[in-house]
Structure 1
């Protein structure tokens, strides 16, 4: 994962952010500061580049990068899992950047929020690119404000947990997914259920 070509992050950025590279010595603090500043600048400039990409990439180039979405948006064909994960995390990164967590916490607000305004504008822009007029868009989010420490407490106290809570723990990195996979495999195969 860290050895890919330079992009928004350089190979060295990836190594440093994932802990493979550590800055030590007399100038370590300055090196970390510089690395963070460079990353911020590249992220900012990459966001500006999307305005060019949405207008200038032709349909064949889109398909070469992202594959084809078929069956009314149900299937995403010829796209490797890493790219699908990257798109998911890219959307999450952007939504978090525009403050979607506040919208999810506050529920229905009396006035249009930044996330609603930007999401609606993005849907209109994406529709426009494909010759569609998006007249309205509605965002309906149900979210529960639960922190990872609280979920870990519930796990330790044998409280019943929802599938969503367990998923959040696994996605957070607080739980080793390999261990969970081994436990599930042992549990399901122990019952003689080889087909899931």
Structure 2
């Protein structure tokens, strides 16, 4: 049983997780459609619940979730969960008519207001295509790569794990064979 299945129900049930990972299938097209509709409904309802959590959850409860539970998670588990949460929200806001920078700025300021302060939020995104040749060229020029760029190279058919490991001092292919490059590499 995967660690994912050992935890309680969040937005997703254990069956939802198994389905989204590709570990299980539904018996009919209609059953699959119904499951996907239930997942969408729960995601929307969870998004709406965050307003109540921001307004009504005690600081002590917030501390117990983030300082205790998230803080005691394996570093990669906590990091991956928080990065994935932000990635999900970024992708989701991009599918609305809302501006992500405005949403981010207001969210940060709403959080800071509980500490009786405001914040200036600068958000700048420069887009570039992920291409193995370009990324390897950056490595050859001793430029740093983001964790996502390293993960892209790891998943690319153009680069073997041994070739990728050769770019990083003290990195060895066995250290990155589990596919969790983002968790194994911290600052390249």
TM > 0.5 between the two? Answer: yes
1:21 and 2:24 are equivalent in the alignment: yes
Superposition deviation, residue 19 in structure 1: 0.8
Of 137, 152, 158, 1:160 maps to 137
Q: Is the radius of gyration larger for structure 1 or structure 2? A: 1
Superposition deviation, residue 172 in structure 1: 8.5
Superposition deviation, residue 184 in structure 1: 2.6
Cα-Cα RMSD:
3.4
Tell me if the contact between 1:169 and 1:175 (Cα under 8 Å) persists in the aligned partners.
no
Give the alignment's TM-score, normalised by structure 2: 0.68
Query: In the superposition, relative to structure 1, how do residues 144 and 127 fare at CA in structure 2: closer, same or farther (>3 Å)?
Result: same
Structure 2 unmatched runs, 5+: 173-188
5 Å-filtered alignment, 1:41-52, equals 41-52=41-52
Give the alignment's TM-score, normalised by structure 1: 0.66
Q: Structure with the greater relative contact order (CA < 8 A, sep ≥ 6): 1 or 2?
A: 2
Structure 1 unmatched runs, 5+: 69-75, 101-112, 191-196
Query: In the superposition, relative to structure 1, how do residues 137 and 167 fare at CA in structure 2: closer, same or farther (>3 Å)?
Result: closer
Superposition deviation, residue 33 in structure 1: 0.8
Superposition deviation, residue 124 in structure 1: 1.2
Partners of 1:32 and 1:173 in 2: CA distance? 32
Superposition deviation, residue 34 in structure 1: 0.9
5 Å-filtered alignment, 1:16-165, equals 16-24=19-27, 28-67=28-67, 78-81=72-75, 82-99=77-94, 114-134=99-119, 136-141=120-125, 143-147=126-130, 151-152=131-132, 154=133, 160-162=137-139, 163-164=144-145
